[in-house]
Amino acid sequence: MEDVGRRDFLKQTALVGGGVILSQQLLTDGSGTLKQALAIVPETTAEKVAVRFRINGSNYGLRLDPRVSLLNLFREQLDLPGTKKGCDHGQCGACTVLVDGRRINSCLALAVTYDGAEITTIEGLAKADQLHPLQAAFIEHEGFQCGYCTSGQICSAFAMLQEVEQGTASHVTADVRRHGPVELTDEEIRERMSGNICRCGAYPGIVSAIREVSEAERSSSL
């Protein structure tokens, strides 16, 4: 039985080795130079789709490949590089933008599915040369270090403050039956901003900046 097992092993080894040699022959031009393997795959052309957006107060009528994401649309076609590409998997929040007032990860959003939407990126929060209060507070409280995640943090915080005023509960909200604005504690801020990752660890400054803006908005509404 041992001899049979050894023979089977040698046969399998030979088959695998032959397959490797054959694949190398298929992928080389005979001189040992590796070919462009993707060249043998036929290129597919997707029919472009007509869409309209209102982005940062301006109207756009575009024809887009249905596979393009909002993130790539901003950065590669509309010259709006403030929205950052971090993980490109919807896990870090660096690409957060506002669509019809709600925060989304633009890296996961196919642009054509948002036809007719009103979209705000970080470039649209400031009024001319006047920073949005959240932008100013992030600077004052040093809510960033490298700044790569900051545009997503600020857009997320903008929508989060609206959610709080609307009474939307979070996982840590003590009384989910309460009507009206939620009390915005530091714990609430951290929970509600947990989808936005800061690799530099500037969370204390982020929390302080958001709390300051929230308190200022509530004071002005009294």
Task: Pick the last residue of a domain from 64, 92, 124.
Answer: 124
Prediction pTM value: 0.78
What confidence category does residue 39 fall into, taking pLDDT thresholds of 50, 70 and 90?
very low
User: 42-51, 126-135, 192-201 — which is least confidently predicted?
Assistant: 42-51
Residues 111 and 149 in one domain: no
pLDDT over 80 at 107, yes or no: yes
Looking at the chain, list the stretches that DSSP marks H as alpha helix, in order from N- to C-terminal side.
Answer: 2-27, 70-72, 133-140, 150-165, 186-192, 203-221
Kindly indicate the confidence band of residue 41, based on its pLDDT and cuts at 50, 70 and 90: very low
Domain final residue pick, 124, 146, 172: 124
Range of the domain at 76: 44-124
pLDDT at 219 over 90: no
Total count of domains within the chain: 2
Task: Tell me: pLDDT of 18 over 70.
Answer: no
- Assess whether 205 and 188 both reside in one domain: yes
**Per-residue DSSP letter, 76:** I
Whether residue 134 is found in the same domain as residue 99: no
Question: What pLDDT is attached to residue 46?
Answer: 76
How confident is the model over 145-173, as a mean pLDDT?
95
Last residue of a domain, one of 96, 124, 152: 124
